[in-house]
Amino acid sequence: MIELPERTRRISPSRLHEILLAHDAKSVVDPFMGLPTHLNYLKRHNIAVHGGDLLEWFVRVGEGIVVNDLTILRDSEVAEIVEMLPGRIYSLDLFKAWEGVFFTEEQCVYLGVWHDNVRNLRSDGQTGLAILGLWRAFCYWLQKAQSPDDMQDIPPSELAWSYIRETEQWVVANIRRNTVRQGDVLATIGAQQADALFFAPPARNSFRSADARIWMWEAWWQGNPYFTIEHAYRDSLLGARAADPPAYARALASVLSHAESYPLVIAQTTEARLPEIEGIVRNARAHVEIIAPHPFEVYVVATK
């Protein structure tokens, strides 16, 4: 049975927005963006947003809901993603390795079909939206594997259709330039200049215990069921220093030193990691305020 860990960290974009407003910040960079729904929220509220991540599917979704201002997927286009199209040759065995372990044979076939159909979409925006919608169908399956009696059997194409169709509501323009990039933290910070840096530093070695719903979807997007997330993190700023706590702390500090020109820095963490993160931030900034509404949702807000 696959384990779906309870999340131990929460980012509330509406609260983040309140913090940004309180400091009159109109643009923000998030170099560890993850699934960029929080950037989508900020974009909807007229903040210029720039995100970065090492995992490609996060970036692709960002192209759908952060960069994209107007492209949506219409019903006919969604139908062409969720079902096998006549005349197209599919790699139906692509995800056979997951069969029986995580998914049924039918689900594995659909994963292969969806993978091929999404790769054939013509626009980045549409691709991002499709990846997001399909990911939600994928999460439903994993959840159902855990709670088979509590959840309904929904035909795969119907489930995917409803989730992809729903993505159009997140497409919004804010008449600002918004960007996402696949890359390491320092490269993302260096590539942009904004009023605020927001980052939620991952715990040391956290990628080794990453949620299956995250790493498996990267494997799906890469078309490689044997993909592990360590591939993506091996040579990154934090991944390379995961075995050495002082080096890891220095790497986090280097993030702040690269963000020296940002007037505002917001580090999101948990109560358990607060002493570690607060110490690093206080070394870099003169004024630090802690906003801690919940043990799993703590913001270290630093100004010059």
Partner 1 sequence: MTLFQDTAGDPRAARASLADVLAWYGAVGDAAAGNPPGFALRKASVAVSLAQIANADDAERHALFFAGLLHAIGAIGNAACRKGEDISPRAARSERWDIPAQGSRVCAQIAALPAACADLVRWQAERWDGTGFPDQLRWHGIPPLAQYLALADAYVRASDPDEALGEMSLQSGRGFGPTHARTFTMWFHSTGGEFELHEVPLDALDAAPEAAAWLLDRAADAIDAHNGVSGRWRRIDALAQTTARALGLDAAATRALALATRIFGAGELHAAHAEGEEFDPLARLGIDERARNATAAADLARPHAALRDAAEIVAARAEWFDGTGKPRGIGHADLATASGVLAAAIAHASLDRAERLETAIGTQFDPRVVPALLEAAKARA
Among 146, 193, 209, 283, binds partner 1 (CB under 8 A): 146
- SS3 category, 156: helix
Cβ partners under 8 Å of residue 77, min gap 6: 126
When binding is defined by CB under 8 A, the residue of 100, 155, 245, 293 that contacts partner 1 is: 293
Nearer to partner 1, 82 or 186 (CB): 82
- Exposure b/e, 28-59, CB count within 10 A at least 16 = b: bbbbbbbbbbbbbbbbbeebbbbbbbbbebbb
CB atoms inside a 10 Å sphere around CB 217: 23
Q: Whole-angstrom Cα distance, residue 121 to residue 20?
A: 36
Per rule CB under 8 A, is residue 58 in the interface with partner 1? no
Q: Is 12 in the site for partner 1 (CB under 8 A)?
A: yes
Residue 90 as a binder of partner 1 (CB under 8 A): the answer is: no
CA distance 263 to 213: 35
Please tell me whether residue 224 binds partner 1 under the rule CB under 8 A.
Answer: no
Q: Is 139 in the site for partner 1 (CB under 8 A)?
A: yes
Q: Which of 70, 87, 169, 287 binds partner 1 (CB under 8 A)?
A: 169
For residue 163, state whether it binds partner 1 (rule: CB under 8 A).
yes
**Considering the rule CB under 8 A, would residue 103 count as an interface residue with partner 1?**
no
In this complex, which beta carbon is closest to partner 1, that of residue 168 or of residue 276? 168
Q: Which is nearer to partner 1, 152 or 246 (CB)?
A: 152
Angle between helices 156-166 and 75-82 (to 10 degrees): 140
Of 23, 144, 231, 241, which one interacts with partner 1 (CB under 8 A)?
144
CA-to-CA distance for 203 and 259, rounded, in angstroms? 20
User: Do 199 and 238 touch, CB atoms closer than 8 A?
Assistant: no
Least distance in angstroms from the C-beta of 284 to partner 1: 28
Does 76 participate in binding partner 1 (rule CB under 8 A)?
A: no
CA gap 261, 139 in Å, rounded: 39
Binding site for partner 1 (CB under 8 A): 4, 6-7, 10-15, 18, 35, 37-38, 40-41, 44, 136, 139-140, 143-144, 146-147, 150-152, 163, 166, 169, 172, 293-294
